Structures are given as structure tokens and as C-alpha cells.
């Protein structure tokens, strides 16, 4: 398990999620959805299919501090036609309230930047809610550009069905 360099005190590390970890990950996902004022449809079955399917849809890692789960990461690789190279997309980064503001989030972003370098990614990207000033401050402090000229477009399941039937 990779050990994280952080100033928060006890030893922290990440390791890939196992089937036995899925209930912990789902609980963290629900906690994050509550914080972000969103709903979640994720189930244990859906997470299992996403992380252990052939091929997996995403990579998931649990963050451990002193042997107890303290957060998680979900990420996957993309491709950018403008760069001609892969990118790393961070879907979720979650740190439990007990460890927020202590440098663990910064350490996890540094860890993921290392993953991006290892796989020669041209970009490392993610979304952040416009009202989450604490996260925006962290990301700007890390050197991230907040793209003001791009908008997220989304078709939900109903929209996908309507488009394929139209």
C-alpha cells in the first residue's frame, strides 16, 4: 500500500478497494452525496460491476489512517484528442470530516498527480461544485485552473433512451 506524505500526523496510505470494502465505499459515497446536496443511486451491485467488471469502469482506492478507513478515491483514464494522449479523470475524492483541513486531501491529490505522471497523462481533471469554496481554494492553491468557459452537458438515462429512440 502506498504511504502518503502528509502533515496530519498518523500514517496514511491507500490501497485498491476489494469486494469486502464496497459497503464502506458506499457509505462514504452517501456521506459525500449528503455534503454535496445530491442524491445517489449507487448500490453494492453497481459498484461491484463498475470496479470488478471486465473491463472495470473505474479504479477505486480506500484511504487508511492508522488502520481505519478515512476516505476514498475513484478515478479513471480518458483520452484527449487535442493532446493525443490519455488523461486522468478524478470522479470522487472524499476525506472523512475528522481528517479534513489537515493536509490529507492535498496528499491524495499529490498521489493522483503521481498516477497521472506514471501513465503519461496530458491532463488531470475533475469537477467541483461552484459553491464549495474550501475545495476551490485547495485546488487553486495546488495550481489547478478553474475553467470558466466550459459547461457540463448531461443526458440522464431518460435522455439517453429518448435520443436512441428518436
What structural domains does the chain harbor? 12-165 (3.40.630.30)
Q: What percent of the chain has pLDDT over 70?
A: 99
Q: What are 4-33's pLDDT values in tens digits?
A: 877 767 889 999 999 999 999 999 999 999
pLDDT of residue 6: 77
Residue 74 contacts by C-beta under 8 Å, 6 or more apart in sequence?
58, 59, 60, 90, 91, 92
Known catalytic residues are: 139
pLDDT of residue 69: 97
**97 or 8, which is more confident?**
97
Q: 133-141 and 104-118 are packed helices; what angle lies between their axes, rounded to 10 degrees?
A: 50
Q: What angle do CA 148, 59, 122 make, to 5 degrees?
A: 45
Amino acid at each position: 500500500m502506498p504511504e502518503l506524505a502528509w502533515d496530519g500526523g498518523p500514517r496514511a496510505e491507500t490501497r485498491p478497494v476489494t469486494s469486502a470494502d464496497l459497503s464502506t465505499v458506499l457509505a462514504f459515497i452517501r456521506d459525500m452525496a449528503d455534503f454535496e446536496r445530491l442524491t445517489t443511486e449507487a448500490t453494492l451491485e453497481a459498484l461491484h460491476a463498475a470496479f470488478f467488471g471486465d473491463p472495470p469502469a473505474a479504479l477505486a482506492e480506500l484511504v487508511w489512517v492508522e488502520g481505519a478507513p478515512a476516505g476514498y478515491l475513484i478515478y479513471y483514464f480518458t483520452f484527449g484528442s487535442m493532446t493525443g494522449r490519455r488523461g486522468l479523470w478524478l470522479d470522487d475524492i472524499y476525506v472523512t470530516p475528522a481528517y479534513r483541513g489537515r493536509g490529507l486531501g492535498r496528499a491524495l491529490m499529490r498521489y493522483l498527480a503521481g498516477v497521472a505522471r506514471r501513465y503519461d497523462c496530458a491532463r488531470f481533471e475533475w469537477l467541483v461544485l461552484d459553491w464549495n469554496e474550501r475545495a476551490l481554494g485547495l485546488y487553486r492553491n495546488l495550481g489547478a485552473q478553474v475553467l470558466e468557459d466550459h459547461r457540463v452537458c448531461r443526458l440522464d438515462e431518460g435522455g439517453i433512451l429518448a435520443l436512441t429512440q428518436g
